[in-house]
Amino acid sequence: MKVLHEVEGGVCAPKGFKAAGMHCGIRKNKEKKDLALIVSDVPCSAAGVFTQNLVKGAPVVVTGRNIADGRAQAVIVNSGNANACNDGGEMVAERMCALVTETCGIPARDVIVASTGVIGQPLDIAPIAGAMGALAAGLGDNSNDAAEAIMTTDTVPKSVAVGFSLGGKECRIGAIAKGVGMICPNMATTLIFITSDVAISPAMLKKALSADVKTSFNMVSIDGDQSTNDTCCIMCNGLAGNAAITEAGADYGTFCKALHYCTVKLSRMIAKDGEGATKLIECNVSGARSANSARNVAKAVIKSSLVKAAMFGADANWGRVLCAIGYSGERVDPDAIDVAFRSAAGEVVVCKDGRGVPFSEDEAKKVLLKDEVKIDVDLKSGRCRASAWGCDLTYDYVKINGDYRT
């Protein structure tokens, strides 16, 4: 039985999926792709999780409706305009779905639609309608084009795919993502589209995705802001031919593990590409009373502006870590907390039992100057663990988010 391993191909790695991405004209820069399409040869089990922001973009509302029956077959997504906080946005989002019907023969109610970009402005359907024929004609092994078309201030396309076995059948999961903080000129949006050829019931797929995001995408924070358009959708078409997963068990466990590999890898990529970021920060909390407590502590550390700024300065300022833990809202014992900084350059213990311990500033600097830094926190009050991912706070974050119109 083949163990979990990475493969090429992104969302096209699983059997029966094709993708395309192109410039249609929503963005002024013709070099920049702004429209993507992903389709499955056959209908899929599908599930999605969306922004908890009360202010929701129109595509989030439409996709929520379309995916409610646990079925989907295509994704249409544009960058350059978020189709949010405008008039008639839902009609435009519905129209995008209808364009997939017209060009690919897939029912509009089986289309996942998403948008990312400026908010508060109407999204013109004309450039999308004009490009749909060419987009559909270009469907193929083009996951990279789709990954590029959903980028905003992302500096790199984000993609992953894995192979694994279920009952002797070779299975695949592929995914693309975007998200780097806020997008020019408006706000943070994380979009994630996952494909798989695994056969799984809509109910179990929904369960798997909902559980997974708690310890993957929901543990990423660039700047603490939450977008109106955040969307993570998965489609599974069953073409791998495995015995359909309809209940918890070994196969479900294997699928969840493969899914988690992909979502954590993308989470780290999203955090590392945070706006202006020079490094990835991972906070690993252990010894917590509950999983929820571990997650909240890890996120408080990752979100602290003072911790983020210290990491930018490669400054072993553990007091800020302790401070963030203290205001996390979780019941911790301040006199039990250990803190260490860790990277490819080594490990430096800076705090034991809530008190500073002597350490070499030079050693600490070396550890913190690496582009992936881990902050290990042991609460010594239980057996639960969690990890969260973020990035440092830099001049460039301020520049990107303060100066974009000037």
Residue 225 is a binding residue for a copy of itself (CB under 8 A):
yes
Which of 155, 313, 346, 347 is the binder for a copy of itself (CB under 8 A)? Answer: 313
Whether the CB-CB separation of 197 and 238 falls below 8 Å is answered with: yes
Whether the CB-CB separation of 297 and 288 falls below 8 Å is answered with: yes
Report the residue number, 102 or 225, with the smaller CB distance to a copy of itself: 225
Whether the CB-CB separation of 84 and 93 falls below 8 Å is answered with: no
The interface with a copy of itself within residues 79-108 (CB under 8 A) comprises 84-87
Instruction: Give the CA diameter of the chain.
Output: 68
Residue 29 is a binding residue for a copy of itself (CB under 8 A):
no
Which of 95, 319, 372, 385 is the binder for a copy of itself (CB under 8 A)? Answer: 319
The interface with a copy of itself within residues 114-133 (CB under 8 A) comprises 118-121
Least separation in angstroms between residue 223's CB and a copy of itself is 4
Residue 299 is a binding residue for a copy of itself (CB under 8 A):
no
Residue 355 is a binding residue for a copy of itself (CB under 8 A):
yes
Active site residue 189: yes
Whether the CB-CB separation of 26 and 80 falls below 8 Å is answered with: yes
Which of 70, 107, 354, 382 is the binder for a copy of itself (CB under 8 A)? Answer: 354
The interface with a copy of itself within residues 382-401 (CB under 8 A) comprises 392-395, 397-399, 401
For residue 361, which phi and psi values (nearest 5 degrees)?
Answer: -60, -35
Least separation in angstroms between residue 24's CB and a copy of itself is 23
Q: Is the dihedral of CA 343, 371, 262, 375 positive or negative?
A: positive
Residue 304 is a binding residue for a copy of itself (CB under 8 A):
yes
Token digits for 243? 């015995």
Angle, vertex CA 48, rays to CA 91 and CA 175, nearest 5 = 105
In angstroms, the CA 240 to CA 258 distance is 15
- Centre a 10 Å sphere on the Cβ of residue 115 and count the other Cβ atoms it contains: 30
Report the residue number, 141 or 359, with the smaller CB distance to a copy of itself: 359
Report the residue number, 40 or 231, with the smaller CB distance to a copy of itself: 231
Which of 224, 249, 253, 346 is the binder for a copy of itself (CB under 8 A)? Answer: 224
In angstroms, the CA 265 to CA 330 distance is 27
Angle, vertex CA 305, rays to CA 366 and CA 192, nearest 5 = 90
Residue 1 is a binding residue for a copy of itself (CB under 8 A):
no
Q: Which residues contact 186 (CB under 8 A, 6 or more apart)?
A: 82, 117, 118, 119, 120
Residue 54 is a binding residue for a copy of itself (CB under 8 A):
yes
Which of 38, 93, 351, 367 is the binder for a copy of itself (CB under 8 A)? Answer: 351
Amino acid at the residue 251: D
Which of 130, 140, 334, 346 is the binder for a copy of itself (CB under 8 A)? Answer: 334
Name the nearest CA neighbour of 150 among 280, 7, 51, 24.
Answer: 24
The interface with a copy of itself within residues 235-294 (CB under 8 A) comprises none
Task: Single out the catalytic residue among 152, 189, 195, 231.
Answer: 189
Q: Which H helix or E strand runs over 113?
A: strand 111-118
Which of 2, 65, 257, 331 is the binder for a copy of itself (CB under 8 A)? Answer: 331
In angstroms, the CA 360 to CA 362 distance is 5
Report the residue number, 31 or 87, with the smaller CB distance to a copy of itself: 87
Residue 177 is a binding residue for a copy of itself (CB under 8 A):
no
In angstroms, the CA 317 to CA 320 distance is 6
Nearest-10 crossing angle of helices 305-312, 318-326:
160
Catalytic residue numbers read: 189
Residues that bind a copy of itself (CB under 8 A): 52-56, 84-87, 118-121, 182, 185-188, 223-228, 303-306, 309-310, 312-313, 315, 317-320, 322-327, 331-332, 334, 351, 354-356, 361, 392-395, 397-399, 401-406
